[in-house]
Amino acid sequence: MTGDQDIDQENDDILNDSTRREDKFREETTPSEEKNAQNHYGTPQKAVQNKRILAAVLAIVLGAFGIHKFILGYTKEGIILLVITLVLGALTCGVAGWAMSVVGIIEGIMYLTKSDDEFYRIYQVGHKPWF
């Protein structure tokens, strides 16, 4: 029996050593931010920053079509910009489209001048659709 006990003891030692090495590896490879991470509710995530920049660029480039409004979840306002640009733009030989482009440029600049927290609070949580 002592032979079997010795083998069992060796297996336990190998298993414990393997577990210790695995834990040490995890400790060494886990980023320090992840180790000390706390969940802060109400703070914007990385996607919010990307949405802010995306909405701003689309507002400046394609603002007349209201694409930036759709990105932010303002469907009604996006449809309003699109209809004004297409319908009134056709009736006014594009003047309404140019006016909506100016609106888009102004909104795009406003999005870019806001901090991530401010943008999140005003446009994501507060749902402020215009200016």
Give 88-100 pLDDT, tens digit per residue: 999 999 999 999 9
For the stretch 24-83, pLDDT in tens is: 666 666 555 554 545 455 555 555 556 889 999 999 999 999 999 999 899 999 999 999
What is the token pair recorded at 64? 């007349």
Which distant-in-sequence residues (6+ apart) come within 8 Å of 105 by Cβ?
A: 59, 60, 63
Identify the pLDDT of residue 38: 52
pLDDT confidence tier of residue 1, bands split at 50, 70 and 90: low
Higher pLDDT pick, 115 / 10:
115
Alpha carbons 66 and 85: distance in angstroms, whole number = 9
Which of 65, 64, 45 shows the shortest CA–CA distance to 124? 45
Query: Which of residues 14 and 98 earns the better pLDDT score?
Result: 98
Q: Which amino acid is at 29?
A: T
Spatial CA neighbour of 126 closest among 11, 15, 42 = 42
pLDDT given at position 126: 79
Burial of 57 by CB count in 10 Å (0-12 exposed, 13-18 middle, 19+ buried)? middle
Task: Give the pLDDT confidence score for residue 123 in this predicted structure.
Answer: 85
- Section 101-112 average pLDDT: 94
The size of the chain, in residues, is 131
